[in-house]
Amino acid sequence: MALVEASVVPDDHAAKPAHGPGPELTVVIPTMNERDNVAPLVERLDHALAGVAWEAIFVDDDSTDGTREEIGRLSRIDGRIRCLHRIGRRGLSSACIEGIQASLAPFVAVMDADLQHDEALLPRMLDCLRQEPLDLVVGSRYVEGGGVGNWDKRRVGISGFATRLGRLVLKVEIADPMSGFFMIRRDAFDRAVRSMSAVGFKILVDLLASSSRPVRLKELPYQFRERHAGESKLDAFVAWEYLVLLADKLLGPYVPVRFVLFSMVGGIGVVAHLIVLWLSLNLAHLAFALSQGVAAGMAMIGNFTLNNFLTYSDRRLKGWNFLKGLVSFAAVCGVGYAGNVGVAKYLFDNQSSSWWLAGIAGAAIGSVWNYAVSSVVTWKRK
Ligand code: GDD
Ligand code: MN
């Protein structure tokens, strides 16, 4: 009896896939209003990945078109479908990162929901990672056999320019670092994740620039298809976020890029303040104290709006929350202002510092306070 059992056990083991009972591959799919793409995508994955133990994690940034309901419907038919619902946040990169972190599979793919990425590449990507000494396989539009379909000249030009800029921070050679379609080994992702900026759209640039050792990669060609249903989320803002990402990769080890943005907006605020002050004195002929008050108020509202748009684009406050944020920002800056003047006055009176040194010290303390406190009070993480 014991003999029989002994001979059964190894056989049983051999029948099981090498990776064990959990999924071998997780496909992470970021979504924002993609209801009509979800079911066709799952159907294609099911077909393309026949024979593979896979699961799909949709990472949905609070879609309003019923995307999550549709994912829920599919998950009741197919237990391999899951959804991570994020509220009050946005950003393609951060969504993908959280999706990857929510998975435990040894291999993870990232692809768009709108069927522009060719799912037929997935099994080939997986084979490459299983069989070759590679960390990453990228679906590439810019290697022999790949392409972007009927993009206009302008978009091809912009994409090429962004790719060249990306070389500033990339540690490896790659033809299509802008690709949003790739598969990675979990250990390779783990080597990068703690240093990733998670800003904006270009997760691959972020990943390649953040890895603690050069990523061993291979590119497989594919044809970028037309979007199936719904609308693109790519807007002019994506270009801004890309610059922020590059700045963070270059400056990040020294200063937080948000602080740089916050200070930049503060600088614009000072100029705006002086312009409004001049106008109210010389055109509206208001008294000095009133003019100064008006200028300070306008500069503060301007700073809040710009920071909300540029510095905290991923946590942007809207509607009621915009007004509440403005009030808390005013309160934070009020305290910062008192600290600024207090420190400057102290240094000027007691330490016989020169006027400009006292002025700069006050302003520095005020802006660090404003930045630090508004980041946790006004634009707090959800
Ligand atoms: N969760 C989440 N949050 N998903 C988002 C967000 C977001 O803020 N923004 C976009 N998505 C999702 C979309 O729903 C879609 O599934 C996918 O990300 C890609 O968005 P598109 O709006 O279709 O982008 P695209 O086609 O212009 O850009 C694609 O191609 C670029 C190369 O030209 C993406 O793959 C980019 O990563 C890629 O760089
Ligand atoms: Mn798309």
Protein residue with least CA distance to atom 27, ligand 1 = 234
The mean predicted confidence, pLDDT, of the chain is 90
Minimum-distance ligand 1 atom for the alpha carbon of 95? 1
How many residues does the structure list for the chain?
Answer: 382
Strand partners, 84: 59
Instruction: Give the per-residue pLDDT at 43.
Output: 97
Rounded to two decimals, what is the model's pTM?
Answer: 0.83
**Tens digit of pLDDT for each residue in 4-16?**
444 444 444 444 4
Mean pLDDT of all residues in 347-360: 82
Which of these ranges, 59-68, 133-142, 162-171, has the smallest mean pLDDT?
Answer: 162-171
Strand partners, 27: 56, 109
Instruction: Give the per-residue pLDDT at 17.
Output: 53
The residues, ordered by sequence, that sit 6+ positions from 369 with a Cβ below 8 Å of its Cβ are 332, 335, 336, 339
Is 109 in contact with 96 (CB distance < 8 Å)? no
For residue 3, pLDDT over 50 is answered with no
What are the φ/ψ torsions at residue 207 (nearest 5 degrees)? -60, -45
Using CA atoms, how far residue 276 sits from 279, 280, 327, 340, in Å, is 5, 6, 21, 21
Protein residue with least CA distance to atom 26, ligand 1 = 232
Q: How far is the CA of 114 from the centre of ligand 2 (A)?
A: 6
Protein residue with least CA distance to atom 23, ligand 1 = 232
What are the φ/ψ torsions at residue 220 (nearest 5 degrees)? -115, 135
For the CA of 37, the nearest ligand = 1
Q: How far is the CA of 61 from the centre of ligand 1 (A)?
A: 12
**Tens digit of pLDDT for each residue in 54-113?**
999 999 999 999 999 999 999 999 999 999 999 988 899 999 999 999 999 999 999 999
Q: How far is the CA of 114 from the centre of ligand 1 (A)?
A: 8
What span, in angstroms and rounded, lies between the C-alpha atoms of 174 and 219?
8
Q: Which of 28, 29, 32, 59 to mutate to test the pocket of ligand 1 (most atoms within 8 A of CB)?
A: 32
Minimum-distance ligand 1 atom for the alpha carbon of 159? 33
Minimum-distance ligand 1 atom for the alpha carbon of 60? 1
The residues, ordered by sequence, that sit 6+ positions from 322 with a Cβ below 8 Å of its Cβ are 308
Write down the residue that tokens 């033809």 correspond to. Answer: 175
Q: How far is the CA of 234 from the centre of ligand 1 (A)?
A: 7
Mean pLDDT of all residues in 32-49: 97
What span, in angstroms and rounded, lies between the C-alpha atoms of 370 and 334?
9
pLDDT, greater one: 119 or 153: 119
Angle at 124 between CA 120 and CA 125, to 5 degrees: 105
What span, in angstroms and rounded, lies between the C-alpha atoms of 340 and 286?
26
**3-class DSSP state for residue 252?**
coil
**3-class DSSP state for residue 185?**
strand
**Tens digit of pLDDT for each residue in 235-249?**
778 888 899 899 999
Single-letter code of the amino acid located at 328: S
Q: Is 30 in the pocket of ligand 1 (CB under 6 A)?
A: yes
Q: Is 85 in the pocket of ligand 1 (CB under 6 A)?
A: no
Instruction: Give the per-residue pLDDT at 11.
Output: 43
